């Protein structure tokens, strides 16, 4: 910064309020923005542009939501009021009490939810609670369930070829040893395949067995109906075009959750303590409120676009298998495998042609491992691509994909000698 302050008095850069370095940064950002203007972004599971409602809140509250909401001075009380309004907004959208809602950094959110359920079971006298979960939970959820040293057996329930939990197997696993501490962990829908889980049946089984149920609603909340009756729910705000890095934890049954040891704070009691900053919490709440209200209009459009992809891709390209349930699915996600075409190579080729998609499991691809979800349904684990439409997707974006995809597949197969 020394070169900025050394500018002479009267420098044009100082007169107009911008230093030369600031102008250079602005110019560079302008170039970055211009690069993406003609592209089709179809990887909403990994993130998507913020909803205008969230952007408006971030801009409007930036000078009021910065203080520590736990402090009692005026600035702290203002921040606390904004956070409380965010809680109430989420509560109305989900038909829960504001006291059940808390905001957290997305990293560690699954662990907070599941470890809290484990700790609650231990507080009821179950030294080593068992966890029963589907075989297609996200990698972060699997890790959260398997990592605590004091957790008992972790049972993974198999799924159908479309990725749906096998309900009878789940019922047997939950009820086979009555009286032992059991925690059920079942996602609302699979964000890799798009398949919705039979959550209503799972909830009924858990209620009958008096078993707390934790559900990961990431990918589904705001875009499709998530049946009520779960004990604990968590979700990443990326699902509903909220700010990056924040999620929500909702504890509908207070007896099902206790603060994990690593998260206990003095005077906390048994309720979760927010770990996300107030501004991002407000933005996440505003986006969820907007998307819940708007989804009856845009979700059917996304559903039609995905149906078109599912229908036309196998007709345009040989040796393609479309995965997931064709009907009982999320409105915006479709995954397919192209024989003899590596998924990562295909994603890169489409990116070069202006279409951004996902390849296989985001969690698995980051560490070079095959997708456990695709393995669970018996699909190819390295030749898959995932399309996930942002809430602003249009016919033109899908047309762009369908136009470029055959040539991209041909190029990848040719490079492989096919």
Q: Is residue 401 part of a domain?
A: yes
Q: Is residue 36 part of a domain?
A: no
Q: Is residue 397 part of a domain?
A: yes
Q: Which domain holds residue 397?
A: 296-415
Of 196, 221, 160, 228, which is closest to residue 327 (Cα–Cα)? Answer: 196
What is the number of structural domains in the chain? Answer: 1
Q: Is residue 352 part of a domain?
A: yes
The residues that bridge with 134 in the sheet, in sequence order, are 157
Least confident of 67-81, 140-154, 226-240: 140-154
- Neighbouring C-beta atoms of residue 417, cutoff 10 Å: 6
Q: Is residue 381 part of a domain?
A: yes
Residues 164 and 198: beta-carbon distance below 8 Å: yes
The pLDDT of residue 289: 96
Residue 177 has pLDDT above 90, yes or no: no
Q: Is the pTM of this model over 0.75?
A: yes
DSSP per-residue codes, 275-303: -S-HHHHHHHHHHHHHHHHHHHHHHHHHH
Q: Provide mean pLDDT across the span 153-166.
A: 92
The pLDDT of residue 263: 53
| Residue 156 DSSP class | E
Q: Which two tokens stand for residue 53?
A: 């409602």
Of 309, 263, 295, 230, which is closest to residue 108 (Cα–Cα)? Answer: 263
Cα–Cα distances (Å) from 41 to 2, 331, 374, in that order, read: 40, 16, 23
Give rounded-to-5 percent helix, strand, coil for the chain. Answer: 45, 15, 40
Q: Is residue 131 part of a domain?
A: no
Q: Provide mean pLDDT across the span 123-145.
A: 87
Q: Is residue 51 part of a domain?
A: no
Query: Given pLDDT bands bounded at 50, 70 and 90, which one contains residue 322?
Result: very high
Of 317, 330, 404, 315, which is closest to residue 162 (Cα–Cα)? Answer: 330
Residues 237 and 288: beta-carbon distance below 8 Å: yes
Q: Is residue 34 part of a domain?
A: no
Cα–Cα distances (Å) from 95 to 8, 39, 228, 349, in that order, read: 60, 38, 9, 44
Residues 186 and 202: beta-carbon distance below 8 Å: yes
We report the CATH number of the domain holding residue 408 as 3.90.1150.10
Percent of all residues in the chain with a pLDDT value above 90, rounded to a whole number: 62
**Mean pLDDT across the chain:** 85
């Amino acid at each position: 910064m020394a070169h900025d302050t050394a500018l002479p008095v009267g420098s044009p850069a100082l007169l107009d309020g911008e230093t030369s370095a600031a102008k250079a940064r602005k110019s560079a950002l302008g170039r970055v923005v211009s690069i993406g203007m003609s592209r089709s972004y179809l990887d909403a599971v990994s993130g998507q542009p913020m909803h205008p409602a969230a952007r408006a809140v971030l801009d409007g509250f930036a000078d009021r939501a910065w203080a520590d909401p736990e402090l009692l001075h005026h600035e702290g009380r203002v921040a606390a009021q904004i956070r409380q309004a965010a809680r109430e907004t989420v509560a109305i959208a989900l038909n829960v009490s504001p006291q059940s809602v808390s905001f957290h950094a997305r990293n560690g959110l699954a662990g907070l939810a599941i470890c809290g359920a484990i700790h609650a079971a231990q507080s009821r006298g179950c030294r080593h609670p068992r966890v029963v979960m589907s075989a297609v939970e996200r990698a972060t959820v699997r890790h959260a369930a398997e990592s605590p040293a004091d957790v008992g057996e972790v049972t993974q329930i198999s799924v159908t070829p479309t990725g749906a939990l096998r309900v009878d197997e789940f019922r047997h696993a939950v009820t086979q040893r009555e009286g032992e501490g059991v925690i059920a962990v079942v996602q609302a829908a699979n964000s890799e395949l798009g398949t919705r889980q039979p959550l209503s049946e799972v909830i009924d089984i858990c209620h009958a067995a008096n078993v707390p149920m934790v559900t990961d609603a990431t990918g589904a909340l705001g875009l499709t109906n998530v049946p009520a009756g779960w004990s604990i729910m968590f979700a990443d705000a990326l699902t509903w075009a909220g700010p990056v890095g924040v999620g929500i934890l909702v504890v509908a049954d207070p007896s099902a959750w206790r603060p994990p040891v690593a998260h206990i704070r003095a005077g906390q009691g048994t309720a979760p303590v927010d770990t996300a900053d107030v501004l991002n919490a407000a933005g996440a709440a505003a986006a969820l409120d907007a998307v819940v209200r708007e989804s009856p209009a845009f979700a059917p459009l996304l559903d039609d676009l995905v149906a078109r992809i599912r229908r036309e891709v196998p007709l345009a390209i040989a040796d393609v298998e479309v995965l997931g349930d064709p009907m009982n699915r999320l409105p915006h996600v479709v995954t397919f495998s192209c024989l003899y075409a590596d998924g990562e190579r295909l994603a890169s080729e489409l990116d070069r042609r202006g279409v951004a998609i996902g390849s296989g499991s985001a969690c698995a691809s980051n560490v070079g491992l095959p997708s456990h979800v695709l393995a669970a349904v018996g699909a190819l684990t390295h030749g898959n691509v995932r399309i996930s439409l942002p809430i602003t997707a249009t016919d033109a974006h899908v047309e762009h994909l369908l136009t470029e995809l055959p040539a991209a597949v041909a190029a990848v197969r040719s490079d492989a000698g096919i």
